[in-house]
Structure 1
Amino acid sequence: MADDFVDQTLSDLITAFHILHQHQVVDEHGEISVRHPRDPTTFFTSNVPAILVAAKSDLSQWHVADGSPVEDHHDGCLKMERAAPDMELYAHSSIYAMYPGVQSVIHSHCLSAIVYGLCNSWNSMLQPSYLMAGFLGSSPPIFDIASFYDYLPQSHPHNLLISNQFLGDALAEMLRKSHDDEMRLLDGPTDLPEQKVVFQRGHGYTTWAESIKDAVWRAIHVRRDADIQSAAMNQRESTDLEVVYLSEREARDCERTINRAEKKHWLAWSAEASRSGQYHNDLRDRLGPG
């Protein structure tokens, strides 16, 4: 028997894949996940390229605790025996496990943003460049997977994928560290991370939120901020002017007051995706827009 409440969440998840694809946040790689609204110990995602996600049968359900497939999965979802080799479930499951308040996670290979994680430093080069990017704070952290290879078997491929729980936990831990507190380790889960975005060297970035819609909003504005900063830095090279980013107070107040998805934003993005003719959502056809 269909559960329309859960199905509406899954419809939003399918739409989120389409919006993220249209906004060049995900392509044939990258994904969004959402915590099960009735069972927070599991989550849903897809290993299907975003433009092809169209129905519950393209979605799969996984355990938060260890990234294993849910045997008694939600009706209509794809039954999985194991994760595909390129399916980075632990980037999602470890964040959900460490931060019970997180409801949605996005991993992106966005080309505009990936360049800002190519630094030999703890912090990325990305700064909050405009009012919709205050949530970034003062340069998000960089997860450099090379720092963890020595803790893995010698046979483990150095392919930058978050392919086991050890690496997933290390990535999730980066979200609750600040630069001044780099070596601090906390015992047990904390409700929400301190950092909103973590870059992954040579790989992409991961962000999260307390809803699908806010996660999509953040992921889109990471890309937009990267585009703005790149343009500003290129322009700076031909002048004597300095690029002026948001102050700490401006970034904090923008995050507190306006850095979130309003209903009209979601409706506009959904309409753009629907009217483009590129995407199909079987659940939306049955349930209507979220």
Structure 2
Amino acid sequence: MKNRLFVSVALILFARHGYAQTQTQAQDPDEARIADVVTASHILANEGILDSFGHVSTRSVKNPDHMFMPRAMAPALVTRADIVEVDISKNCSAVAPNAPRLNGERFIHCRVYAANPELQSVIHSHDLAVIPFGIANVPLEPVVAQAGFLPAETPLFEVRDAYPPDATKRGVQVTNAKLGDALATKLGKNPAVLMARHGETVVGKSVREATVRALYIHIDAKAQFAGMQLNPHITPIDGPELAVNAKENFDSDRPWQNYLSHLHGAEEQHPEQ
């Protein structure tokens, strides 16, 4: 009897908390976007697209010169309390003076937002399905219908080109505005850009769109790799097909809900994590 009472009270409190959270998000559009950043971080970590590193961000609705992204931490562990507001226009620095340590590669996000006012979300990952294309100099092509938002060839950012030819020291990470601008230029108006020896950056007009794109780029890369094992002369989606598929004739919310169910299933199997 006591156990039943405890469960009932817990369910009531959970329902009230969920309702209050929904009300807060409805009243504050930035909170709704931040909630999606947290969820997207967990989904992409659960699917193996984000590892111990990588990050998801969103532009502020109320102040488009600001963005929200997690502090420097593992994406799978991100909570609302870990989200930091960052000023895009002021050297990509935290708005709060006592903010926790930020991701060093936040310049990917800031400079992409600065170059593309229409974009509302940026994702940087070290997707192991995608990385081989950037190190083997094999173009990533759209080979599955749900990845028809990709161009005929996804651009590849070579960070070495952003350094002076005689540079004796250089890294592969995008840790300053100059490198961020070079990446944004290579991205152009494409939905994604590969990063040599590093990973990829994916963008969208919402967190959910960017997340779904990252998921289907992962699937597309795996499918292309598998196809090339059977025959190196693959048959990707061609121009006339891309002219239709580029419109993304499927609702991003459907795969979002699907992968959210995967996440909830994983959480139920490992409630202690």
Normalized against structure 1, the TM-score is what?
Answer: 0.78
Shift of 1:7: 2.0
Shift of 1:251: 1.8
Cα separation, partners in 2 of 1:50 and 1:202, compared to 1, 3 Å: same
Tell whether 2:142 aligns with 1:128.
yes
Please point out which of 21, 29, 45 is paired with 2:69. 45
Q: Which amino acid aligns with 1:128?
A: P
Q: Which amino acid aligns with 1:139?
A: E
State the secondary structure of the residue aligned to 1:135.
coil
- Counterpart contact for 1:127–1:136, Cα < 8 Å: yes
Q: Give 5+ residue unaligned stretches, structure 1.
A: 73-78, 177-192, 281-290
Aligned partner of 2:83 in structure 1 is 59
Q: Give 5+ residue unaligned stretches, structure 2.
A: 1-20
Q: Percent identity?
A: 27
Cα separation, partners in 2 of 1:171 and 1:69, compared to 1, 3 Å: same
Structure-2 separation of matches of 1:10 and 1:111: 26
Structure-2 separation of matches of 1:82 and 1:26: 19
Aligned partner of 2:235 in structure 1 is 244
Shift of 1:118: 1.8
Please point out which of 48, 51, 55 is paired with 1:24. 48
Structure whose alpha-carbon radius of gyration is higher: 2
Structure-1 separation of matches of 2:92 and 2:187: 19
CA deviations over 1:170-211 (Å, ceiling 9, x no partner): 1001122xxxxxxxxxxxxxxxx2x11111100001010000
Q: Which amino acid aligns with 1:135?
A: F
Please point out which of 194, 200, 219 is paired with 1:199. 194
Structure-2 separation of matches of 1:260 and 1:267: 11
Structure-2 separation of matches of 1:56 and 1:233: 42
Shift of 1:92: 0.3
- Counterpart contact for 1:119–1:201, Cα < 8 Å: no
State the secondary structure of the residue aligned to 2:118.
coil
Q: Which amino acid aligns with 1:111?
A: L
Q: Which amino acid aligns with 1:129?
A: V
- Counterpart contact for 1:102–1:210, Cα < 8 Å: yes
CA deviations over 1:95-128 (Å, ceiling 9, x no partner): 10110000000111001101111255xxx51111
Q: Note the aligned Cα RMSD (angstroms).
A: 2.3
Please point out which of 70, 75, 90 is paired with 2:95. 70
Q: Which amino acid aligns with 1:104?
A: S
Greater relative CO (CA pairs within 8 A, separation 6+): 1
Normalized against structure 2, the TM-score is what?
Answer: 0.82
Aligned partner of 1:266 in structure 2 is 256
State the secondary structure of the residue aligned to 1:118.
helix
Aligned partner of 2:121 in structure 1 is 104
Aligned partner of 2:102 in structure 1 is 83
Cα separation, partners in 2 of 1:142 and 1:70, compared to 1, 3 Å: same
